[in-house]
Structure 1
């Protein structure tokens, strides 16, 4: 006896409605008729499909204004790779604007036939990038984290992306098995003396390409919001001129790493300025402009994926 089909889930319905709308070109009235539901439910299902990432939209046409901004950023900062995505308007989350472009940039490397070591930072922008990626079989590459994957409470760091990417590309992956920030410099050094940690660090230091988020060090700093630094520690680093951070390592407005605060206890691998290999920053938003600018000045990053408003702000301040 054949097994009866399972009842469709809400995700099934949302995926089908999204497919009919974005791929099939149906109106919401047509979707309602096709699925035998009300127009209001059809509208909710289409919205759900997009909100939950069941449907991903990529812009194939390169808008002229974005191309002009890419050329200007490349010339001003001597960048190797630049992608500028159209902005989504005031109040919109810039991660949504840049995630598809960032995903396409990473996929470009993952489709290369020669084996690469791809080192990855963490954060909301990189997590958005992973969510926007398509599945690719890339077993020839190795993925390694630049930053520890243990949060202050002992849990896995929420924005760690290495395992998420590995699920999509089926490549060997190497998390950094240390705290993001250890309680003391001595404990951090003890972790880094462990043979498994030393192997992962060596792999990260030899990476062929680097993808990182860029965090601001203003009062809305991600390190503070996510509980990795205290208010007092942030105050100390701000007083010393902290402007931004990459992979948890804090730098000033010229892109020089600070020798104080949590930098003495940060786990993982610091992205050295002036790398000959691609080091691509994935970041956008008004609050991040000083941090991105500092990272570009010192060439902690030599490539950038951002959006139109951020690109214009960077050029106006350069």
Structure 2
């Protein structure tokens, strides 16, 4: 799919330099190298961004290239909403870039006056979102977890999001009191037969808004790194075509959930493809591109927050 290259203005360049400086934490020498300009010009661009009021708590400017990518992604995948933020350059953690944009999307829902049930996944991207979230009073909403909060050793899952966000926004919250992945399908069924678990599951299934991370199922899969699946289980699911997971539920390149491996033991609630309400994916990084594409193809997610490099890589795929 061809896309016209947008023209950039001096303000675009100032916005990009300011993003790298204030969000990416780069020095002016590093910015100069990243943008291919002199150190003096990098310094002037950052100063200009400040003088023109582009810098507040967040960067108050949408770079033209990012707007172009947003439009292209919405057109190709039929997304409800899309936010693309500037990348922070090679070697930088993309979670740093997308955290504030994800927080802005979350705050949009939290500021709505009518009560909402907001269902949340977990992971590093959502933790970054919570860290960037502005504290507020949102007692009219209810927050519910889509995924279990018990790790394999019995401890609380490190990346659990519901408790952390509830503390920031003072909203009632409902953690999913089951293991992320049970040892056997029978144990999973036993947990889901409990009345308190059934009430949380029902609340999650009826959520007005879904906000999730998107995990890859390559050899650096978060489920493997965090000890939720074994190497043998990952190999089995990869052989069956696994490319990604949302809330622990594994799917293939077309976004179809697999009927094998840990999917038979995953706790919590599976996000239903094709929801008619917002299902927002928060994800960025080269390794996540196949997973994000699969999730958008089947509409496990119908909205996306990502960075410029990831958006470009997605659109460059046939």
Same fold by TM-score greater than 0.5: yes
Task: Report deviation, 1:291.
Answer: 0.3
Any stretches of 5+ residues in structure 1 without a counterpart?
1-21, 23-55
Match in the other structure for 2:87: 87
- The 4+ residue runs of structure 1 with deviation greater than 3 A are none
Alignment partner of 1:217 is 2:217: yes
Match in the other structure for 1:16: none
Give, in whole Å, the separation in 1 of the partners of 2:74 and 2:168: 31
Match in the other structure for 2:62: 62
**For the pair shown, which has the larger CA radius of gyration, 1 or 2?**
1
Give, in whole Å, the separation in 1 of the partners of 2:64 and 2:108: 22
Match in the other structure for 1:196: 196
SS of alignment partner, residue 66 of structure 2: helix
How many residues align? The count is 264
Match in the other structure for 1:99: 99
Match in the other structure for 1:181: 181
| Offset from partner CA, 1:48-102 (integer Å, 9 cap, x none) | xxxxxxxx94111111111111011011100001000100000000000000000
| Offset from partner CA, 1:246-275 (integer Å, 9 cap, x none) | 000000010000000000000000001100
Match in the other structure for 1:162: 162
Match in the other structure for 1:251: 251
Aligned positions of 1:1-318 closer than 5 A: 57-318=57-318
TM-score (normalised: structure 1) = 0.82
SS of alignment partner, residue 288 of structure 2: helix
Task: Report deviation, 1:304.
Answer: 0.1
TM-score (normalised: structure 2) = 0.82
| Offset from partner CA, 1:139-164 (integer Å, 9 cap, x none) | 00000000000000000000000000
Taking only aligned residues, the RMSD between alpha carbons, in angstroms, comes to 0.9
Give, in whole Å, the separation in 1 of the partners of 2:217 and 2:235: 10
Give, in whole Å, the separation in 2 of the partners of 1:247 and 1:74: 23
Give, in whole Å, the separation in 1 of the partners of 2:110 and 2:57: 20
